[in-house]
Structure 1
């Protein structure tokens, strides 16, 4: 039988996507073990890409074929051929640089240029890394997203898995900056994932995150300035410290209207204690909640705004601030506080 006859015997279109198949899939299409061995001999038309995974042509596989081959290798359920056909990728999920390449990270480049491909599998799987497939066992498989039909880890998890093996601080900072600056994921989600992986104890990762948060706050402050002036709100005092006369400090606020006793606080993560994860200690999320509650008890209205809301919905946030300013006339006189510039 000629190679063309063997390929034609497969009831699938001979396009790139269907040129990588597992042994179980090939058996389903009627390819016997003897025919498979014959076609994969030296000089034959096919080749073994990974154990149990075959490329139905010769040559170096392009990026997509390589990724599909790694998933087929990692996803094959041991001893359950029917599952290998129905769910060829099983629970395998691409992560690390391979996932970031599919998410479109410019700093990673196309999948074909990757040396190895990281793939997540359940921690109970007994499967070895081989060839260009690097097996990463985990007890916390992420919910994958589909990119070009492939199961891929969400950006935050993929970045965490990618920086795990990166020793160059510049490369770490580039990945972290592109994840957020490129609009691929929310900074709070990224910091939370890095903390979950225990990576924030590494100085190069911590430095990259601190630079990211500082840059993000600066951008958010600029947008807050624009929101106030574009909406015709009264001029506030910017970036001031509040304290009781002769007493302890009440904390910093980003904007304060002393005639209305209304403060705006930019909160990078109002629902997640990510600040404590980067060494902020008592200045983290819990402390910000306590500060807000204390100011409210003193009669000061605190309007927490997230950088994302200021960026994506500035008109709505301006309405929130204006409403707080308008409601000030109906409140009891607040406690006297001292306002200090920073």
Structure 2
């Protein structure tokens, strides 16, 4: 028991293995090889614990029915732009446990169904985002926390909204107001781009450029591509397909020799496999014809 999270154990586990209170206390002295991270939870090594060991210790302290939420959960789902010293744990409302050290314990009657990632139980992204945002007082940070999982395709605005409505109402007025921004075209584009990124995680394609203006060789602006593969001249349009301006832009792209893939918002969310196939066919067809004489401007 000397590596990674295996070096984080409950005191009761050591006692069951034959250690005495005295032997554990001696090893946990300031100059000893062990240290106590949380009440009843030890790290069987000296030196600062890793992030993973701190989280594992929080789990052992909070109990097997606890769920990690907030920023630590968002990080586990791949959103590493956020950081916090605190580990936010959710426990059933019937239990009694105090927050200690770096662990914030919250009792709830709405314990989420956890997602197990590398052996630990995490709240789903929409719950983690709301839990993190309602504990933050910086509006820009709140907005980033709410929209980051949407932008990454991990959840929808509707899931965030339902979570806010279902949880405690205190301190959520600002969060509700921020969600209304989703009615703005720029925020709608951001949300749809998040779902598009989710689709591309399953596509055998290189990453595209996002929201770029396409110009002809003579400098004429043809329109903005939601996603653009410059090497082969493929544009992906996943905006409102019924908008006349979109149809005009797609016609301009086609006249310039650009291969265009059009995807509706419903297809982005409900037909990922079909969209991936359409993108792959378009990309490889474009790669086998001369690239059109156009250029992209961010």
1:57 corresponds, among 45, 49, 65, to 45
- Can you list the C-alpha shifts for 1:158-205, whole angstroms capped at 9, x where unaligned? 111111211111111111121101112122111111121245974431
Give 2:116's aligned residue. 146
The TM-score normalised by the length of structure 2 is 0.64
Give the alignment partner of residue 28 of structure 1, picking from 2, 9, 16: 16
Aligned counterparts of 1:107 and 1:207: Cα–Cα separation in 2: 23
Confirm whether residue 115 of structure 1 aligns to residue 88 of structure 2.
Answer: no
Point out where structure 1 has 5 or more consecutive residues left out of the alignment. Answer: 1-11, 76-89, 233-304, 318-342
Secondary structure at the aligned position of 1:191 is classed as helix
The match for 1:41 is 29
Whether the 8 Å contact between 1:53 and 1:72 is mirrored in structure 2 is: yes
SS of the aligned residue for 1:190 comes to: helix
Q: 1-side partners of 2:242 and 2:95: how far apart?
A: 53
Which residue does 1:223 correspond to in 2? Answer: 239
Q: Residues 161-200 of structure 1: matches in 2 within 5 Å? A: 161-199=131-169
Contact 1:97–1:158 (Cα < 8 Å) also in 2: yes
- The offset of 1:116, in angstroms, is 1.5
Query: Structure 2: where are the runs of 5+ without partners?
Result: 193-236, 251-262, 276-298
In structure 2, relative to structure 1, the CA distance for the partners of 1:101 and 1:310 (3 Å cut) is: closer
CA RMSD of superposed structures (Å): 3.1
> Do structure 1's residue 103 and structure 2's residue 77 form an aligned pair?
yes
Report SS of the residue matched to 1:209.
helix
**Cα 1:203–1:43 shift into 2, 3 Å:** same
Helix, strand or coil at the partner of 2:136: coil
Contact 1:50 1:70 in 2 (8 A): yes
Quickly say closer, same or farther: Cα 1:31–1:65, change in 2 above 3 A: same
Q: CA deviation at 1:118?
A: 0.7
The one-character-per-residue Cα deviations of 1:74-124 (angstroms, maximum 9, x if unpaired) are: 10xxxxxxxxxxxxxx20111111111211213314xxxx22111001112
The equivalent of 1:242 in structure 2 is: none
| Cα distance per residue 1:124-146 (max 9 Å; x no partner) | 21111110111100011111101
For residues 268 and 58 of structure 2, the distance between their equivalents in structure 1, rounded to whole angstroms, comes to 42
Partners in 2 of 1:315 and 1:22 — Cα distance?
A: 45
CA spacing shift, 1:30–1:121, aligned 2, 3 Å: same
Checking the alignment, whether the CA contact within 8 Å between 1:20 and 1:65 is kept in structure 2 is yes
* 1:217 Cα deviation from its structure 2 partner: 3.7
| Alpha-carbon shift at residue 157 of structure 1 (Å) | 0.8
Q: Separation in 2 of the partners of 1:139 and 1:34? A: 40
- Does the residue aligned with 2:73 lie in a helix, a strand or coil? helix
* Structure 2 residue matching 1:119: 3-state secondary structure: strand
- 2:296 alignment counterpart: none
CA apart distance, 1:49: 0.5
Larger Rg: 1
1:288 — aligned with what?
none
Structure 2 counterparts to residues 127-138 of structure 1, below 5 A: 127-138=97-108
Structure 1 residues 200 and 71, CA, compared in 2 at 3 Å: closer, same or farther?
Answer: same
The secondary structure found in structure 2 opposite 1:212 is helix
* Count of residue pairs brought into register by the alignment: 215
Alpha carbons of structure 1 residues 224 and 73: separation in structure 2 relative to 1, 3 Å: same
